[in-house]
Amino acid sequence: MNQSKNINKSRNSPSGVGGIKAGIIGGAGYTGGELIRLLVNHPQVSIESVHSKSNAGNYVYKVHQDLFGETDLKFSDSLNDEIDVLFLCLGHGDSKKFLSENNIPSTVKVIDLANDFRLTQSSKLKARSFIYGLPELNKQQIQSAHDIANPGCFATSIQLGLLPLAKAGLLDEVYTTGITGSTGAGQSLISTSHFSWRANNIQAYKTLTHQHLAEIVQSLQQLQKKFLDPPLGDGGISFIPWRGDFTRGIFISSTIHCEEPIEKLKDLYKDFYADHPFTIVSDDPIFLKQVVNTNKCVIQLEKVGSKLVVHSALDNLLKGASGQAIQNMNLMFGFKETTGLKLKANYF
């Protein structure tokens, strides 16, 4: 078992009663790297192991070079089961395979960052039952959960823009466009992730067929049962995602028909998110630099006639992935929801 500790142990060791031990599977990728960056400074967590078959024996900072001087953790190809929580940062479909092939003690809580367990029909594996980990929707269930299916990045941003309308029964057919940075495609190199392709370029992809649509509809139907996806009936969501010429962040614009006055709608949103520290409703135009490198989602409403446009923006690797995973962990273990997540945006 690899139990390497941080150079500055006090910055990564539990401070008093209630501290937990964490393991990370798939620690060499973007989401794994972000988890390490956050957990290495979390006052209630010690990282016990970071698993990566291809990097076993190498220092973590050799792959995530910004962590040089922050930690002396090494990647391991063996499993450490002397932990309290296990983060799965694997490719879609690989989390279910990993849990099926490895004997993870039932006492270990699992937070999966892939899409394997997000839908109700696929949320169970053996004795494990995964709760959909969107705190703004399922906070109470998350607090008592043993296993979490972390939402997708596009799904998080679109849902946070629409949940208040669903709760009020105001959702009609939704037309959504969204642009994401290159890190949304993961670390594996593909033709559209080359700098020479991305620079000064945008492209629509997976038009109306994005894999996050199913989890979005599932959550919206949790609050407004009559909201249907297009194959099931009238109404639903039509989503066109875009690849953008930047590395981090997602900006969404969703358009629906709505007769309610704008001030009433703003109050509806601010009331809905009053007890959710990372989702903030703005009266002013929002932009991507407000959220990059933070766990925040910012929302703005605009209305022209009967057309309501909801803009939402977040960092796809943080609130859209690793930051939200730690937010869920905080809730599961009874820590303050914002612990280890008070992050500064890179404004300039």
Catalytic residue among 89, 153, 258, 297: 153
b/e map 98-108, b = 16+ CB within 10 Å: bbeeeebeeeb
Kindly report, residue by residue over 320-345, the tens digit of the pLDDT: 999 999 999 999 999 999 999 999 99
Active site residue 153: yes
The pLDDT value given to residue 235: 62
CA pair distance 282, 8, nearest whole angstrom: 39
Buried b (16+ CB within 10 A) or exposed e, 50-76: bbbeebeeebbbebbeebeebbebbbb
The residue to which tokens 């957990």 are assigned: 39
Q: Half-sphere exposure of residue 26, counting CA atoms within 13 Å on the CB side?
A: 23
Cα angle 132, 135, 139; round to 5 = 90
- pLDDT of 110-135, one tens digit each? 999 999 999 999 999 999 999 999 99
- Predicted confidence band at 65 (pLDDT cuts at 50, 70, 90)? very high
CA–CA distances in Å: residue 215 to residues 58, 117, 234: 37, 10, 18
pLDDT(8) > 70:
no
> Domains in the chain, please, with CATH?
9-150+321-332 (3.40.50.720), 153-314 (3.30.360.10)
| pTM for the whole structure | 0.91
Average pLDDT over residues 29-56: 95
Above 70 in pLDDT, residue 94? yes
pLDDT at 1 over 50: no
- pLDDT the model gives residue 14: 44
Q: What angle do CA 35, 85, 25 make, to 5 degrees?
A: 55
